[in-house]
Structure 1
Amino acid sequence: MEVDQLMKHTAISLFCGAGGCSLGFKQAGYSILYANDKDAAAVETYRRNFPESLCSNEDIDNVDFGQVLSEIVMKPGELDILIGGPPCQGFSTAGSRFWDDPRNNLLKQYVKALTILKPKWFIMENVEGLLTSNKGKYVYEAAKAFIELGYWIIIEKIYSQEYGVPQRRKRVLIIGNRLGHEFRMPAPQFQVSGQLFRNSDITISHAINSLPPATKDKGTLLIPLTSPPQDDFDSFIRGNATQISDHYYPIINGIQLKRITALKPGQTMKDLPEELQHKSFKKRANRRVADGMPTEKRGGAPSGLKRLIGNEPSLTITGAATRELIHPVENRPLTIREAARIQTFPDDFVFCGNASHKIQQIGNAIPPILARVFAEHIRDDYGFEGDQDNEGRMLGFLLTKAGAMSPALKNTE
């Protein structure tokens, strides 16, 4: 371990993916001592961008956390924070049988990591479906386990655009500490309003407008950045980069080009004339979800293509972004680099693997800017000192900030 790492606050990242959360913490001055993910392409990306960190490519079931402590020369309770979170796999059982259900194994391994590492803090991030999975039983069992380990926890749905991400991305955070701090989420840094919080000071235009024209040539590896940064956000994302990669899109023709050309800003597949709607869309759109048909037989996502609106935050970036999300004014989908910028990855961040691997890594990531806000909030407003022999407790639980609640949330027990 290098001397300068010993001077920093320390973190371990599980389910690290490409490293969005790690990057935010690194930008806030933390040292990421160890990371793990079972996805080989994501680990290749992580190692490329975090050469100073240990990163293992193995199933978390096989990780010996006692050995990890030995490798990073730490004792239980010395690590400042554990970041990342197990993917939500769908859950059916609760109570005493919950932990025996193989679908809950990733959470079980996460709890094992907390038990052995005993970090002072942890941040667990997940999709908003975490709150409603099995009518809330999953989040209940998770919270119960964390409290039994002595953590003071808060569970809250957060809206990324309130923290400087040009994207309408809702996520659930469970944050806990063993130090007796009555933690509260950081105050929003940007004013958002309107239906689905669509009005924001940070928009798609801030993220992508200054980029050079995208190319149709996948073989064009690097494109120079010739224009100056257009604003502070653009300057931050650009950093010291003088060129960008992955800024290309596939050749589009035939009916797909007709569909894209017909879409106005904010419109989706359902707004197109029926003759332009994809057959998979019509198959699913005309079938009620409640009929019990398995999702894989429904014919794909109900909305398909979606034209973004330039002066609003983007729709959520997912692994399908470069197929489904259409540029606000150009008749093409987003490029990998545009999706990365909307997720607040800097221009010099390199993604490894094929195109499918890259967009999946981007879509699965925690936006680095969002992670940085929370890293700085914990560091500056709470710190890493305190009595670690506390009884666990629930500090707060907020399902939604929206004016109305979805039927699924209403059914949460």
Structure 2
Amino acid sequence: MTSTDAAARFLENPYILDLFAGPGGLDIAAHMLDVPSLGIEWDKDACETRYRAGLRTWHADVSAVRRERFEDLPEELNVLAGGPPCQTYSVAGGGAGRKALDEVKQVIHALVGGVPEEEIDAQLKELGGDPRTALVLEPLRYAIAALGSRNRAGRPFDVIVLEQVPAVKALWEVYREALEAGLPHPDGTRVLYKVAKVETLPTEAYGVPQTRRRTILIARLEGHGTPPLPRATHHTYNPQKPRRGGPDDGAAAAPDGRDQLPAAGIEGGRPLRPWVSMGEVLKDDDGRPGGRRAPFEIVSNYGSGGDPKKRGIRTDRQPSFTVTGKVSRNAVRYPDGTPHTPDRLRISEAGILQTFPPNYPWSGGDKSQQVGNAVPPLFGMHVLAAALGLPLPPEERLREDWPEAAAEDRATLRKEGCGSPDGCGPNCPRPEGQSSAAAEAASAGASAKRSEK
């Protein structure tokens, strides 16, 4: 079965270049679809996880690879995917990207107008503020770089898949206009794409046991047809009217959402399944080590302004709140308020709520940040299947054990990705910039200093 209703596959050998690849959410999705991938990731911690998971990875700055090593990328890469850092665009971030949105749009128009790279870089520097704001342009710059690549003989990417927080929807719309108007080829022609409607999709509608919204752009090279968006397979979750989707609609839900009841629904001629609760994926009644016994509830650390009385609560019969980089701070307790055991989510549990395999080998530092930054693999499967016209594999595969790479294989991956089998090489980012844990510590220190004043 597929959630896309797509026609037969149109790429004989899809091969994904995953920019800002994180700990591997989209790569796992690709693996489930039997599609190879190569990720580029800046953060050393995330790369440690990727190497242990057996994922091909370049530990590098995405911008530096485009400028200095683009010709070294495998010429067979034909699918460009990316989830650029969203902190400056997200509600949780400082908002520098939102403030610079109009300026960034102007840079996009300059890019597709064929303005030289040096002028583009100068325009981006003039934006000032958070340097991550400009990173959202890297997928477009990669798509244009492919057209002038000697290694690729000017061959464009066949498919482009982008995901970001909802605040970037307006920017993805400018991307869509640029791709449909055509990218500048060195031979003077324009390379045209067909783009699906840019939409913000709720991940629980695709079986993810979490309410998380991501804005998606899917484009195919003209001649491959207009791509579809992935069809929902599950009900969305309404916290004001928390009901479970299913055949027995009609009864009211309990105020705390514990007795979720069904609501009817059809999508594309298919009945929608109930959204998935935390209790369903974290339950321990199947003997799985580290499971969590119901009933329980999770008290969110997000969006509370520091006031515990204002923090949201979800029960085991509801989907999780959005899993963020602060997920380990969320308290877990019994309905009577006493602490659960353990009283914080384990990293493996947070990964499961993101639909990573239960034994995924999280490594390096700041694992919470890695989990929170990742694309949910199950959601990624739906998006990639729609983009590539592939059938959707059984989602149960994501609940199977993930094979950890042997030491010899990790050394091989590290040698390719870092230039050395046992450490970082000259192409890796500088040590002070590679660790999300270090960045978190610096941020915490700055906050502490502000509090002292």
Which TM class, normalised by the smaller chain length?
0.5 to 0.7
**Residue 141 of structure 1, CA deviation:** 3.5
Q: Does the alignment pair 1:38 with 2:42? A: yes
**Of the candidates 109, 130, 142, which is equivalent to residue 168 of structure 2?**
130
Alpha-carbon displacement from aligned partner over 1:268-301 (angstroms, at most 9, x marks no partner) = 689xxxxxxxxx96xx5xxxxxxxxxxxxxxx58
- The one-letter code matched in structure 2 to 1:17 is G
Aligned counterparts, 1:56-205, within 5 A:
56-64=58-66, 67-68=69-70, 70-74=72-76, 79-88=77-86, 89=88, 90-91=97-98, 92=100, 93-94=102-103, 96=106, 100=124, 101=127, 103=131, 104-117=133-146, 118-131=156-169, 136=170, 138-147=171-180, 148-149=182-183, 150-153=192-195, 154-180=197-223, 181-195=225-239, 198-200=242-244, 201=274, 202-205=276-279
Structure 2: segments with no counterpart, 5+ residues: 1-10, 89-96, 109-122, 147-155, 184-191, 245-273, 392-453
Q: How many residues align?
A: 292
Task: For residue 109 of structure 1, give the secondary structure of its aligned residue in structure 2.
Answer: helix
> For 2:301 and 2:66, how far apart are their aligned partners in 1?
48
Task: For residue 176 of structure 1, give the secondary structure of its aligned residue in structure 2.
Answer: strand
Aligned to 1:49: 53
Q: Does the alignment pair 1:12 with 2:17? A: yes
> For 1:113 and 1:140, how far apart are their aligned partners in 2?
18
**Residue 379 of structure 1, CA deviation:** 3.3
> For 1:206 and 1:359, how far apart are their aligned partners in 2?
22
**Residue 342 of structure 1, CA deviation:** 0.5
Alpha-carbon displacement from aligned partner over 1:91-130 (angstroms, at most 9, x marks no partner) = 4243546753355421232211111232111111111122
> For 2:317 and 2:363, how far apart are their aligned partners in 1?
31
- C-alpha contact (below 8 Å) 1:204/1:313 kept by paired residues: yes
**Residue 30 of structure 1, CA deviation:** 0.4
Alpha-carbon displacement from aligned partner over 1:362-406 (angstroms, at most 9, x marks no partner) = 111111111112222333369xxxxxxxxxxxxxxxxxxxxxxxx
Alpha-carbon displacement from aligned partner over 1:302-321 (angstroms, at most 9, x marks no partner) = 87754321111111111111
Tell me: CA distance 1:183–1:208, structure 2 relative to 1, closer, same or farther (3 Å).
same
**Residue 333 of structure 1, CA deviation:** 2.3
Provide the TM-score with structure 2 as the length reference.
0.57
- The one-letter code matched in structure 1 to 2:144 is T
Aligned to 2:380: 371
Provide the TM-score with structure 1 as the length reference.
0.62
- C-alpha contact (below 8 Å) 1:65/1:116 kept by paired residues: no
Aligned to 2:321: 315
Alpha-carbon displacement from aligned partner over 1:231-289 (angstroms, at most 9, x marks no partner) = xxxxxxxxxxxx67xx99xxxxxxxxxxxxxxx9587689xxxxxxxxx96xx5xxxxx
> For 2:54 and 2:279, how far apart are their aligned partners in 1?
29
- C-alpha contact (below 8 Å) 1:308/1:327 kept by paired residues: no
Aligned to 1:345: 356
- C-alpha contact (below 8 Å) 1:307/1:326 kept by paired residues: no
> For 1:347 and 1:269, how far apart are their aligned partners in 2?
23
Alpha-carbon displacement from aligned partner over 1:194-235 (angstroms, at most 9, x marks no partner) = 446844421101111128xxxxxxxxxxxxxxx457xxxxxx
Structure 1: segments with no counterpart, 5+ residues: 1-5, 212-226, 230-242, 249-263, 271-279, 285-299, 383-413
Task: For residue 172 of structure 1, give the secondary structure of its aligned residue in structure 2.
Answer: strand
**Residue 29 of structure 1, CA deviation:** 0.7
- C-alpha contact (below 8 Å) 1:318/1:363 kept by paired residues: yes
Tell me: CA distance 1:350–1:172, structure 2 relative to 1, closer, same or farther (3 Å).
same
- The one-letter code matched in structure 1 to 2:284 is S
> For 2:307 and 2:144, how far apart are their aligned partners in 1?
39
Tell me: CA distance 1:381–1:38, structure 2 relative to 1, closer, same or farther (3 Å).
closer
Tell me: CA distance 1:346–1:155, structure 2 relative to 1, closer, same or farther (3 Å).
same
Aligned counterparts, 1:203-222, within 5 A:
203-210=277-284
**Residue 70 of structure 1, CA deviation:** 4.0
Tell me: CA distance 1:320–1:11, structure 2 relative to 1, closer, same or farther (3 Å).
same
